[in-house]
Amino acid sequence: MPKISGILTSVAAAAVALALTSAPSYADGPIVGLITKTNTNPFFVKMKQGFEAKAKELGLTPQAYAGKADGDNDGQVAAIEALMAAGAKGILLVPSDSTAIVPTVEKARKAGILVITLDTPLDPITAADANFATDNFKAGELIGQWAKATLGDKAATAKIATLDLAPNEPTVDYLRHNGFLSGFGIPVKDQKHYAMGDSPQIVGSDVTAGSDEGGRKAMEKILQKAPEINVVYAINEPAADGGYAALKAAGKEKGVLVVAVDGGCNGIKSVKQGAIGATSQQYPLLMASDGVEAIAEYIKSGKKPVSIDTGEKLVTDHPVPGVPSISVDEGMKLCWG
């Protein structure tokens, strides 16, 4: 009976993974997998497009999966197990839980599968073969430096609200948050954690799941306790847009500086319209295409890749001395989604 139960559990896990989102097969070549946090965020939509296009170009068979929502670790575990069962040679992974997924990643690597994380590193980062991503701490640092320089002397008394990602604080979450604080001149107490107690200047903080609705609800809660806010840091642009909408609905958007990370086309439009003051742009298409190329090389020669920073640029139409940036028009030429 235990044996039958185990088989049923494995089959159920595979079925769940396959139900998440699977890409069509383009070839009979080696299988490569992509596992993202969701299949609705424009960032991951563009990543999937780059993954499938490059796999097709190189004669590989792409299979793409995504969790039901940001934070769906069980769904990602099931997807890795499905790819292992399918005989995949390499997996590109954007982990929802940077720590909880590690044992499953280790199992895949022991089976000879190359695992490269995209966008979000594992904790520890060495749990994957390589990490192809934005330097998320630097991305946060750039918007923090810009906000501080823009406010000038007022930065020292600014009241900050943070719109973060998830309760489990995956690496991308604490890296961007702490990068922002560091850039703003606020000492970071714990490099792998964040909390309102990190600084008396942080008057409100909540998680958003990286969505517009999440950002709006989080800001509504924050405003109930802290009606006066000068600066809003957001994990990404959808969360920033939702936060700004809540501020505007409350008649409190004037004089509030909103910053974010991502660089999607909708986000750059929000910068142009003034809802977001500046954003750090990242490049998901490059992460995916570089990842597929690295897996193809591994299949061919057995050579494992080294981690790379796929780049980040501050986008704003209000540049400040000492903080490198590009204009909104330049950002629109490089945006995605």
Please report the domains of the chain, with CATH numbers, ordered by start residue: 2-134+284-306 (3.40.50.2300), 136-281+314-334 (3.40.50.2300)
Residue 34 gets the label, from left (phi > 0), alpha (psi -120 to 50) or beta, of: beta
Would you state the pLDDT for residue 24?
46
- What is the SS3 assignment for 222-272? HHHHCCCCCEEEECCHHHHHHHHHHHHHCCCCCCCEEEEEECEHHHHHHHH
Q: What is the pLDDT of residues 49-96, one digit of tens each?
A: 999 999 999 999 999 999 998 889 999 999 999 999 999 999 999 999
The closest of 207, 214, 219 to 250, measured between CA atoms, is 219
Q: Which residue matches tokens 């990370």? A: 261
Q: Cα(61)–Cα(68) distance, rounded to whole angstroms?
A: 23
Q: Cα(316)–Cα(237) distance, rounded to whole angstroms?
A: 13
Would you state the pLDDT for residue 70?
86
Question: Which residues in 69-89 are b (16+ Cβ under 10 Å) and which e?
Answer: ebbbbbbbbbbbbbbbeeebb
E strand or H helix at 315, and its extent? strand 313-315
Q: Is residue 156's pLDDT more than 50?
A: yes
Q: Is residue 6's pLDDT more than 70?
A: no
Retrieve residue 122's tokens.
Answer: 């594992």
Would you state the pLDDT for residue 10?
41
The alpha carbon torsion through 46, 52, 56, 61 (nearest 10 deg) reads 170
Would you state the pLDDT for residue 58?
97
Q: Which residue matches tokens 């989102």? A: 21
Q: How confident is the model at residue 19 (pLDDT cuts 50, 70, 90)?
A: very low
Residue 154 gets the label, from left (phi > 0), alpha (psi -120 to 50) or beta, of: alpha
Strands 313-315 and 278-281, sheet pairing:
antiparallel
- What DSSP character marks residue 304? P
Q: Cα(50)–Cα(284) distance, rounded to whole angstroms?
A: 8
Would you state the pLDDT for residue 23?
45
- What DSSP character marks residue 273? H
Would you state the pLDDT for residue 28?
77
Q: What is the pLDDT of residues 245-285, one digit of tens each?
A: 999 999 999 999 999 999 999 999 999 999 999 999 999 99
Retrieve residue 289's tokens.
Answer: 């295409």
* Average pLDDT value for residue range 279-296: 97
Would you state the pLDDT for residue 337?
79
Q: Is residue 21's pLDDT more than 50?
A: no
Q: What one-letter code names the amino acid at 156?
A: A
Q: Is residue 133's pLDDT more than 60?
A: yes
170 contact partners, CB below 8 Å, separation of at least 6: 95, 96, 97, 98, 120
Give the SS3 label for residue 74. Answer: helix
- What DSSP character marks residue 90? E
Q: Cα(163)–Cα(114) distance, rounded to whole angstroms?
A: 34
Of the ranges 3-7, 122-126, 307-311, which one carries the lowest mean pLDDT score?
3-7
Write out the E strands in 175-263.
202-207, 231-234, 257-262
The closest of 283, 289, 291 to 333, measured between CA atoms, is 283
